[in-house]
Chain A
Amino acid sequence: MRVAVLRFPGSNCDQDAFFSLRDDMGFGAEYVWHEETSLRGFDAVFIPGGFSYGDYLRCGAMASRAPIMTEVARFAEEGRPVIGACNGFQILCEAGLLEGALLLNAGQKFVCRSVELKAINRSSLWTRGVDRNLQIPIAHGEGRFVCDEFTLARLQDEDRIAFRYVGASPNGSVDNIAGIVNRKGNVLGLMPHPERATRTVLGNKDGRLILQALALVAA
């Protein structure tokens, strides 16, 4: 299992993802610069958090048009695993690989704490191994998931809500959505950071339940 950890100017969770995937999860991991155009030799893609392009224009907007994203779209179309956490989720939405968009938190503040997540979809590549609620850190100012009512109904009907926040929403997301998957279930976008919760010394390993999905994917 070789995972491409994408890097854009302004990515800042790329090393967290890299060390989590390599040292904690035991996968092969390699950085891929946003100007690259090929994912040849990789079995999965991790789009990390941060402030790609300084969040200019809209969070994720500039990164979603970077050369590597054309290849990520092709890779995703083949049904291969792609995960975007935080800014990675924003990038996937801006790229049109997932529906909706992320806006400034309803409570205006940047929220940095651990949240409880409930897996709603239990059949996708990413969520089928999540057999209990998870505690995962969030750290974002723009995490309010929004979409129109038709899109929301479709996400619900097609069982594509991957995770909901348990209890009060930290950011005002519609339907308390923390993450969604695409129709095939191979692309997951979520605001929480599973890569920050895979190591005993950090006090929480719940993120493993999400990232371990890659161990079940044939490389």
Chain B
Amino acid sequence: MPLVRVYVTLKPQLLDSAGRTVTGALQKLGFPEVKETRIGKLIELQIDEVDEARVKEMCDKLLANPVIEDYRIES
């Protein structure tokens, strides 16, 4: 069955406070080269038949919130 991946990321201008915590943790673990971390979501969809327009509709209706997030579809 075809697999579609949807990557959902917080808009770049918004503070990712979870990411900031992870940056701090990585630095404390001895990775001072890490300056910023941004955490997104990977959503994997098993779909009968891939229709990109319909996947886009799924993103717009539920999977991403356009107020705070961007998404990218990979099929």
- The answer, yes or no, to whether A101 is at the interface (CB within 8 Å) is yes
Q: A57-B62, A65-B62 are in contact. Are A100 and B17 (CB under 8 A)?
A: no
Q: Are B65 and A58 in contact, with the CB atoms below 8 A?
A: yes
Q: How many residues of B contact A (CB 8 A)?
A: 13
Q: What string of 1s and 0s marks CB contacts (under 8 Å) between B56-74 and chain A?
A: 0000011101011000000
A-chain residues with CB within 8 Å of residue B17 when the two chains form the complex:
103-108, 144, 172
29 contacts between A and B (CB under 8 A): A57-B62, A58-B65, A61-B65, A65-B62, A94-B65, A99-B67, A100-B67, A101-B65, A101-B67, A101-B68, A103-B14, A103-B15, A103-B17, A103-B68, A104-B17, A104-B18, A106-B15, A106-B17, A107-B17, A108-B18, A108-B21, A144-B15, A146-B14, A146-B67, A146-B68, A147-B67, A148-B67, A172-B15, A172-B17
Q: For chain A, which range describes its interface: under 10, 10 to 19, 20 to 34, or 35 or more residues?
A: 20 to 34
Interface residues of B (CB under 8 A from A): 10, 14-15, 17-18, 20-21, 61-63, 65, 67-68
Bound Cα distance from A58 to B15, whole angstroms: 16
- New A-B pairs, 8, CB < 8 Å, besides A61-B62, A103-B17, A172-B15: A101-B65, A103-B15, A106-B17, A107-B17, A108-B18, A144-B15, A144-B17, A146-B14
- Nearest Cβ in chain B — how far from A4, in angstroms? 24
- Nearest Cβ in chain A — how far from B58, in angstroms? 12
- Nearest Cβ in chain A — how far from B43, in angstroms? 9
A102 (CB) vs chain B CBs: closest residue:
B68
- Nearest Cβ in chain A — how far from B47, in angstroms? 18
Bound Cα distance from A198 to B12, whole angstroms: 41
B-chain residues with CB within 8 Å of residue A94 when the two chains form the complex:
65
A-chain residues with CB within 8 Å of residue B21 when the two chains form the complex:
108
Bound Cα distance from A77 to B25, whole angstroms: 47
Q: What string of 1s and 0s marks CB contacts (under 8 Å) between A80-113 and chain B?
A: 0000000000000110000111011111100000
Q: A65-B62, A146-B14, A172-B15 are in contact. Are A108 and B20 (CB under 8 A)?
A: yes
B-chain residues with CB within 8 Å of residue A61 when the two chains form the complex:
62, 65
B-chain residues with CB within 8 Å of residue A93 when the two chains form the complex:
67
B-chain residues with CB within 8 Å of residue A58 when the two chains form the complex:
65
B68 (CB) vs chain A CBs: closest residue:
A101
- Pick the most buried of B17, B21, B65: most chain A CB atoms within 10 A of its CB: B17
- Nearest Cβ in chain B — how far from A195, in angstroms? 26
- Nearest Cβ in chain B — how far from A62, in angstroms? 8
B-chain residues with CB within 8 Å of residue A148 when the two chains form the complex:
67
